Structure 1
């Protein structure tokens, strides 16, 4: 039963590798070399199974391959060789759908920025954020940005521009998401939640000036990495005015 479980997880791993080979490359000088030889993978599994036993953890925690998958995320456990030569495991997450996720900074024609107040399950807290989300299969960042605008704000626009890319957690996520700017006319924006917003955890939409957004960042009201990245990109590109901080004004 153990061997079949291991084989199934490695088979799913090889299937993902065939689909997304870029996730399994070993660039020159890589600090952690992904080990694809069966002997190396079995060595790491057996080594970590012994560790799990000592810690009274289930032995399947030591498996290499795709160890979890749902319709949103895939959890991988890779066998790797560290620079010291030691062999071990490293965990990472990638999206189930092969597309580009995106965050989108909605900018009204009067210069205000639209933020949503959303509850995040991971840290059990409310956050002020820009709309963002996972990709659909085969979609690019622009497709994702437009979809999130419509789903979370009820707004549509073709006036979007890519500002850059961000990795929300390069220590865990094997993905880079795009950041977009969306121009929306003030007349087309309604500070009313779409019908399904409550199901998404959104309870408020607010349009704020760039200066107010800066103050929200400085006083800790905005901590979301995608929102901070969007503000940084837009400010660096001259889309948003740069205000001196209160401590230097």
Structure 2
């Protein structure tokens, strides 16, 4: 059996507390294993699995057996856990952490309203390679509160200030892969002319002020499809904070 790396399970100490319950496979959960023998057997079995051809940087050596932190940069932390499934079979499972999630919630998505209008951004997204219509959202900076993140993002992306703010609740954007959450807020805006000042890395072409009927139609025809946006709209609607039209 392959010798374990000395820090193979210590990576768990870098993760936020809410992500650390190890679980119990005997009650149907996916259990994170810290057992050296189990981890070693998983690594050994993974030695002989090949990467998809498109992912191979060296086609002559395409194995991918690592357990623990398998990739990290200033934005993301990708973890492959050793796990035991409900039937007792051992394997591995990937989780992706956005960096701000290591010290709390990742960020915010904001539902800005004023005079029966909802404010959206038309933004080009690299991942979809398309222009999308989305609610403003952004990361929480280190040592800042979620409410401060709301204020910063609104000034940057919409260019208007807050009259009142209402916490709509937490959104988990991808429970099967992403170990991060964002907080949704409904914000009533103060009067004034929108003067957005987005960061250079954000390709925002315009701010749209839409009626709720227009929002509904754009959801139906697929123009609004962002998961954060749809979730925030749903959270506001079920609380009867919007939708009385």
Q: TM-score, normalised by structure 2?
A: 0.85
Q: CA deviation at 1:142?
A: 2.1
In structure 2, what is the Cα distance between the partners aligned to 1:129 and 1:221?
Answer: 9
Which consecutive unaligned segments of at least 5 residues does structure 2 have?
A: 54-58
Q: CA RMSD in A?
A: 2.5
SS across alignment from 1:126: strand
Q: CA deviation at 1:103?
A: 0.3
Aligned twin of 1:246:
none
1:22 and 2:26 equivalent?
no
Aligned twin of 2:93:
90
Q: 20-29 or 199-208: which moved more?
A: 20-29
Contact 1:118/1:128 (<8 A) preserved: yes
Q: CA deviation at 1:200?
A: 0.8
1:160 and 2:156 equivalent?
no
Contact 2:28/2:85 (<8 A) preserved: no
Q: CA deviation at 1:43?
A: 1.6
More helix by share: 1
**Residue of structure 2 aligned with 1:58, choices 62, 81, 86:** 62
In structure 2, what is the Cα distance between the partners aligned to 1:37 and 1:165?
Answer: 33
The count of corresponding residues between Structure 1 and Structure 2 is 233
Equivalent residue runs for 1:104-143 within 5 Å: 104-108=110-114, 110-143=115-148
SS across alignment from 1:46: helix
Q: CA deviation at 1:139?
A: 3.7
Q: CA deviation at 1:54?
A: 10
Q: What CA deviation, in whole Å up to 9, does each residue of 1:112-146 have, x standing for no partner?
A: 00000111112212110001122222444323222
In structure 2, what is the Cα distance between the partners aligned to 1:188 and 1:31?
Answer: 52
**Residue of structure 2 aligned with 1:81, choices 75, 79, 84:** 84
Aligned twin of 1:209:
211
1:145 and 2:150 equivalent?
yes
Contact 1:117/1:202 (<8 A) preserved: yes
Equivalent residue runs for 1:213-224 within 5 Å: 213-224=215-226
SS across alignment from 2:236: helix
Q: CA deviation at 1:217?
A: 0.6
SS across alignment from 2:153: helix
In structure 1, what is the Cα distance between the partners aligned to 2:13 and 2:79?
Answer: 12
In structure 1, what is the Cα distance between the partners aligned to 2:52 and 2:241?
Answer: 56
Aligned twin of 1:194:
197
Q: CA deviation at 1:51?
A: 1.5
In structure 1, what is the Cα distance between the partners aligned to 2:181 and 2:193?
Answer: 29
Which consecutive unaligned segments of at least 5 residues does structure 1 have?
A: 244-249
